[in-house]
Structure 1
């Protein structure tokens, strides 16, 4: 979830509407010095100024964004104050005019669950239902093919915090979830501030099967993936670490500082490579050695920073990018050496996008929510994105 989670990592004060810390500004300035034309950095700097009410400052950074190779429209929700200025509206109009538009998805379901604030998304094949995590209500909700929702877990069950990433363990018939303390969750307790947990719940009964606390604080366990041997991998978006859980033991796979705001991650089918998305872009990790290789964006992808959900599908990575602009879904085929061979935008420019985040696979296609950050009274819309070559053509 872009506003409250990824920016809470890199722009903690900004997300709290107070003012960016010196460390935050220093980080952005370093990134800007390394790549002055980075759309992710320019967009985020504009948001920093917007969130403290410095609208002339936001205008200046948006002007630089327009001069960069940014090819998406800005999200109006990100710049409500600045858009009252005619100069900003003019920039927004010009960006919208050159933005790419591709709307290949159809609405599969509408889901009416108020105040859910979903972030994680999974599919339960045994019962043919979708699972949504609730950041606000601290629970997991199951949704059938008719859009009917029912709680799988209780709110706050066995210490459950704001629920973020999730993954179905088909072998055990469990769902693994990452949860973290967040100011927007129901009943936030001062004692839990900065804490995160990894839970597993029985898909048949909703009972807790595992609850593994993360000793490092402050932390923000965010997204996760599952290996064939049952090992769970998760990103800590606060410290920059990647952790694993196996047989109830939690350990570092990569130490703090390895990444800057890591979010989505995807384990390669061979189980030997882990792909991690952070603020800067995509990285490949050789699990045997722990070595990290940053992947160069292919032609057609100026930046791959800020990808939230990240998945393997048919020799390619599928990524939902939402740190800048209105959001888009990428297909990134991999070369034989594990690098990125090409970049294809599957979906972008939808009028109903409200911070699309994570997704899941069912029926051979990709399902994800168009509007997790839905407006009051607006039902959630689950989109079905065809992934076959014929359907994409």
Structure 2
């Protein structure tokens, strides 16, 4: 075995232990052999909204608006269920906490799940925490905190394993510690505009969150030492339809926008900041995106992959069985 192979294996082991997303130097044929540029998958009316890279299986994990599950998607497109709980009607954002061997998913109910009921639509809200290896339930955390509608949408995980959760029907961002204890991290009326709140969210290792409002395209920076001192990031253009975010190893931010429920653009942008995210510039743009209904993106050792779970067809009342993961070139 070559020294290069030994070194790469050691780096991968370190990445799993720390929960980081590792981008390795390219070898000849490594990208082609590791993952195909496009993964076409099929599972009965799965309609995934969220995606994460699973370093244990070297596969993807996806959520399901129809079934409220977390499923493994292999590079060949084969799908199997990893985690489920009947109390999760629809699952949205999904993230891996490799350092603690967990997978976390936001759950709610927009009325699109096979188990949706009048009692759960816009009332069911929380995160499910599962063992990454076995899919065993560790915690189911209720986040329907306070009056009004609720439906947790996305989450980010910090180095200590705390989760930060958005809810498009709320003016709050929630915090769930590693023991499953929930609290309101910050509540601010500026996070809710015309009934639409925050969507995609990431944790930045410099101690703050970045989160986007789907309807307005505003990007917010929330310092964890003083969340009430949140500030709006100055952008050259609003990220209307801003859905999934991914903080890349080089410090840039990938933003997926769509027009599923807002007059957004079907695009994938890369933003970079030189002033600690007081402002940011668009440094790369893939528009129009090759798929018409992208929602989010996941970093892998073989590049970033954008998910299209065919949510537009589901919203139109015509569920399908196919979805796509496409590499951002």
Aligned mates of 1:254, 1:235 — CA distance in 2: 11
Whether 2:206 is the aligned partner of 1:274: answer no
Structure 1 gaps of 5+ residues are 1-105, 387-393
CA distance in structure 1 between the partners assigned to 2:79 and 2:200 by the alignment? 26
The match for 2:183 is 251
1:182 pairs, out of 98, 110, 113, with 110
Q: Which runs of 5+ in 2 are unaligned?
A: 1-35, 314-318
- Give the drift of 1:311: 1.8
What is the match of residue 242 of structure 1?
Answer: 173
Counterpart pick for 1:344 among 261, 283, 290: 283
Relative to structure 1, the CA distance from residue 145 to residue 218 in structure 2 (aligned partners, 3 Å threshold; closer, same or farther) is same
Select 2:51's aligned residue among 107, 121, 134: 121
Q: Return the alpha-carbon distance in structure 2 between the equivalents of residues 259 and 379 of structure 1.
A: 34
Map 1:277-356; keep pairs closer than 5 Å: 277-278=212-213, 279-280=215-216, 281-290=218-227, 291-298=229-236, 302-313=237-248, 314-322=250-258, 323-350=262-289, 352-356=290-294
Q: Number of residue pairs matched?
A: 274
Instruction: Give the aligned partner of residue 64 of structure 1.
Output: none
Per the alignment, in what secondary structure is the counterpart of residue 171 of structure 1? helix
Offset, 1:187: 1.7
CA distance in 2, matches of 1:310, 1:113: 25
TM-score by length of 2: 0.78
Give the conservation status (yes or no) of the 8 Å contact 1:359–1:367.
yes
Matched, 1:263 2:193: no
1:151-180 CA distance string (max 9 Å, x none): 1124xx151121001110101221101100
Alignment of 1:1-393 (within 5 A): 107-154=37-84, 157-193=85-121, 194-216=123-145, 217-246=148-177, 247-255=179-187, 257-260=189-192, 261-270=197-206, 272-278=207-213, 279-280=215-216, 281-290=218-227, 291-298=229-236, 302-313=237-248, 314-322=250-258, 323-350=262-289, 352-373=290-311, 375=313, 379-386=322-329
Secondary structure, in 3 states, of the residue corresponding to 2:99?
Answer: coil
Q: Which deviations, in whole Å up to 9, do the C-alpha atoms of 1:198-239 show, x marking residues without a partner? A: 111112211101111124252121110000101000111101
Q: Is the 8 A contact 2:212 2:220 kept in 1?
A: yes
Higher strand share: 2
Higher alpha-carbon Rg: 1
Match of 2:15 in 1: none
Take 2:304 and 2:41, find their aligned partners in 1: how far apart are those partners? 17
Structure number with the higher helix fraction is 1
Alpha carbons of structure 1 residues 188 and 170: separation in structure 2 relative to 1, 3 Å: same
Structure 2: distance between partners of 1:381 and 1:188:
25
In structure 2, C-alpha distance between the alignment counterparts of 1:345 and 1:208, rounded to whole Å:
39
TM-score, with structure 1 as normaliser = 0.66
Q: Where do 4+ consecutive residues of structure 1 move more than 6 Å? A: none
In structure 2, relative to structure 1, the CA distance for the partners of 1:340 and 1:367 (3 Å cut) is same
After superposition, the CA RMSD in angstroms is 1.9
Structure 2 contact 45–321 (Cα < 8 Å) conserved: no
Distance 1:377 1:233, change over 3 A: closer
